[in-house]
Chains A and B, each alone.
Chain A
Amino acid sequence: MIEFYNVSKVYPSGTHALNGISLSIKTGEFVFIVGASGAGKSTFLKLIMREEEPSGGRIVINGKNLSRIKRREIPYLRREMGIVFQDFRLIDKMNVYDNVAFAMRAVGATADAIKKRVPYILELVGLAHKAKRRPSELSGGEQQRVSLARALVNNPSMIIADEPTGNIDPKMSYEIMKLLNAINEQGTTVIVVTHEHELVNSFPGRVIEINQGKILRDSY
């Protein structure tokens, strides 16, 4: 569960990225965060990831106040989240299998756990047959599925997708969104940050629109 209580963020440059936002995202929800460029979406993500701290207000994730957690506890907070990036963030010198396994190794998973979990997740995203391929040998949609597999592999309680369809064609975008929906149906909270209104209208879910650091709309 993500709770924002009157959260503001002012950067040292003086930019007011968020102005007193309050919201609550329950476990298992599917939420779109929409807004134009510079609306405050990225700041919203940075705050959730505890990459930035709020200038005012309080953020609580799964009952933990992010302003009170210690620096060394941040990695454990992030393990609750799986991130899907717009530009996929895959390491091209590694094959698909290793890109996914990399996320498990980074949290200290055992070799046995990796051997069991990675093929299962690749099967889930429909890429088991391409496990030995390099990311550059895959299409944009496939690369995003690898990115999604990497986000899922550590079994996070929420998936945060930052413009997941920004770099792929409409057909593939639809596939990715279907996958995210399927993941959400299993009980995982999914937060999709996007500026594509068409995408938002095509799928059910809660829509939070941010504009100039304020919530403009919060509806289903």
Chain B
Amino acid sequence: MHWHCKKRQSRKLYNMSGLGYLIKEGFHSIWNNKIMSIASIGVLFSCLILTGAAAMLSVNVSQAVENVGESNVTTVYLKNEVSSLQAVSVMRDIEKIDNVAGCEFYSKEDAIASFKGELDSVYEYMQGDANPLPNAIKVTMADLAKYDDTIKEIMKIEETDSYSNAGEVAKTLTRISSLIGNMSFWIILVLSIISLFIISNTIRATMYSRRYEISIMKSVGATNTFVRIPFIVEGMFIGLVSAVLSILGLMLLYNILMDLVQSTIPFDAIPFGSVAGVISLCFIVAGVGIGTLGALFSIGRYLKKEGNEILGW
């Protein structure tokens, strides 16, 4: 029979039992190289836990920034000569500025009224024309990261005089959030590369221990795909186990830490359950992805360099 006729026939012969055999081979490999497999799972577990911790910290800080943003109101004081009527017009102008979520007029009468009870003598002598306080507008911003630019725009309005600097806390939190965001990116990148390296080395060790079998497979006409599948199964399984362990580990660690933090500082932490779905999905995709990529890198390199040789000739 002409060999390319056989090629078509052989392709038909690939079946589920063959795939089952290859998957079983992948699991055998993990068992036969259990020390290296455990080491890989350990490294990937640590990487995912650190990544998850950075993500949870980032989410919590973002939430804190959001909370501060919601309660934060910057008071913009108007010039003394600006009347209440003019102030309402200024308020309309401020509302038109980008990033301004809301405005509230705060009259000089309301301002002096706030002294009533605490400083009654001051309140008594500063009524009507004797009131030295200016009219003001309380401004709420949509995004505190744009605080400086928004204030600059507001202060361009001629009738404005000064503003209260209550956004400092929010600005600091925003800076921390952005720092954590950047750090998380680098942590994830570096740890992914380390994980990839470790898994790829584990698979390479498995491959070298099975190079004899690979050479026999190649000599009888196994395709590269056939040779690859058990190693890919191995990489995927290592990734999956690492991901599942990391999800459980992160949940445990997060709950313990949050209990500790909340017992010292009253802090509105995000419950793990609310992000568990997203975190689990990300961990499984990352774990299985890194495992598969690690396997593909090493087997690809091996098959290109040495795997085509039928040893010993």
Decide if B4 touches A102 in the complex (CB within 8 Å): no
Q: Is B220 an interface residue (CB 8 A)?
A: yes
Please list 23 pairs of residues, one from A and one from B, whose beta carbons are closer than 8 Å in the complex, sorted by A's number: A63-B2, A76-B221, A78-B219, A79-B3, A79-B6, A79-B7, A80-B3, A81-B221, A83-B220, A87-B312, A102-B217, A106-B216, A106-B226, A108-B11, A108-B15, A109-B18, A110-B13, A110-B18, A111-B17, A113-B13, A150-B220, A157-B1, A162-B313
Interface size of A as a range? 35 or more
Q: Which residues of A contact B (CB under 8 A)?
A: 42, 45-46, 49, 51, 61-64, 72-83, 85, 87, 89, 91, 102-103, 105-111, 113, 150, 154, 157, 162
State which residues 1-25 of B face A: CB under 8 Å.
1-4, 6-7, 10-11, 13-15, 17-18, 21
Q: Is B188 an interface residue (CB 8 A)?
A: no
A89 near B212: Cβ-Cβ < 8 Å: yes
Establish whether residues A51 and B309, one from each chain, have CB atoms under 8 Å apart when the complex forms: yes
Instruction: For the complex, give the distance between the alpha carbons of A85 and B212 in Å.
Output: 13
Residue of B nearest to A106 (CB): B222
Bound state CA distance, A75 and B4, in angstroms?
11
A85 nearest in chain B by CB position: B312
Cβ contact within 8 Å between A78 and B4:
no
Q: A75-B223, A154-B220 are in contact. Are A105 and B310 (CB under 8 A)?
A: no
| Contact status B220-A78, CB under 8 Å | yes
Chain B residues near A105 (CB-CB < 8 A): 18, 21
- Also in contact, A108 and B10, with CB within 8 A (given A76-B221, A78-B218): yes
Taking A51-B308, A162-B313 as known contacts, 10 extra A-B pairs with beta carbons closer than 8 A to each other, sorted by chain A number, are A49-B310, A64-B4, A72-B224, A73-B7, A77-B221, A78-B221, A89-B219, A105-B21, A110-B17, A154-B221
Q: What number of B residues sit within 8 Å (CB to CB) of A?
A: 32
Q: Could you tell me the distance between the alpha carbons of A76 and B3 in the complex, rounded to whole angstroms?
A: 7
The 9 closest A-B pairs by CB, nearest first: A79-B221, A78-B221, A76-B7, A106-B222, A108-B14, A111-B17, A103-B220, A75-B221, A106-B217
Contacts of A113 in B (CB 8 A): 13
**Per-residue interface assignment for chain B, residues 300 to 313, with 1 indicating a CB less than 8 Å from any chain A CB and 0 otherwise:** 00000000111011
Please report the C-alpha to C-alpha distance between residue A81 and residue B4 in the assembled complex, in whole angstroms.
Answer: 13
Could you tell me if B312 and A91 are in contact, using CB atoms closer than 8 angstroms?
A: no
| In the complex, chain A residues whose CB is within 8 Å of the CB of B11 | 108
Task: Collect the chain A residues with CB atoms within 8 Å of residue B309's CB.
Answer: 51
- Cβ of B104 within 8 Å of any chain A Cβ, yes or no, is no
In the bound complex, residues from chain A placing their C-beta under 8 Å from that of B223 are 72, 75
- Decide if B7 touches A107 in the complex (CB within 8 Å): no
B213 at the interface (CB under 8 A from A): yes
Q: Is the CB of B313 within 8 A of A42?
A: yes
> Closest CB of chain B to A212's CB: distance in Å?
18
Fill in one digit per residue for B272-289: 1 if any A CB lies within 8 Å of its CB, else 0.
000000000000000000
Main SS of chain A's interface residues?
mixed
Q: In the complex, what's the smallest C-beta–C-beta distance from A133 to chain B, in angstroms?
A: 19
List residues of chain A with CB within 8 A of the CB of B224.
Answer: 72, 75
The contact of A108 among B3, B13, B219, by CB within 8 Å, is: B13
Expressed in whole angstroms, the Cα–Cα distance for A141 and B10 within the complex equals 31
CA–CA, A103 and B3, complex, Å? 17
Q: Report chain B residues within 8 Å CB of A89.
A: 212, 215-216, 219
List which B218-257 residues lie within 8 A (CB) of chain A: 218-224, 226
Bound Cα distance A105, B222 (Å): 9
Nearest chain A CB to B18 CB, angstrom units: 5
Cα distance, A79 to B14, chains bound together (Å): 14
Query: Is the CB–CB distance between A76 and B6 below 8 Å?
Result: yes
Bound: A90/B147 CA distance, A: 74
The smallest C-beta distance from B58 to any residue of chain A, in angstroms, reads: 45
Residues in chain B near residue A82, CB distance under 8 A: 220
A4 and B279 alpha carbons, distance in the complex (Å) = 61
Chain B residues lying within 8 Å of A80, measured Cβ to Cβ, are 3, 6
Give the chain B neighbours of A76 by CB distance below 8 A: 3-4, 6-7, 10, 221
**Which residues on B sit within 8 Å (CB–CB) of A102?**
213, 216-217
Considering the complex, give the chain A residue whose CB is closest to the CB of B313.
A42
**CA gap between A106 and B6 in the complex, in Å:** 15
Complex contacts, B14 vs chain A, CB 8 Å? 108
Q: Are A108 and B226 in contact (CB under 8 A)?
A: yes
Q: Report which of B4, B13, B213 forms a contact with A107, defined as CB distance below 8 A.
A: B13
A77 and B3 form a contact (CB under 8 A)? yes
Q: Which of chain A's residues have a CB closer than 8 A to the CB of B308?
A: 51, 74
B220:A107 contact, CB within 8 angstroms: yes
**Beyond A64-B4, A79-B6, A83-B310, is A109–B13 a contact (Cβ under 8 Å)?**
yes
Nearest residue (CB) in B for A86 is B312
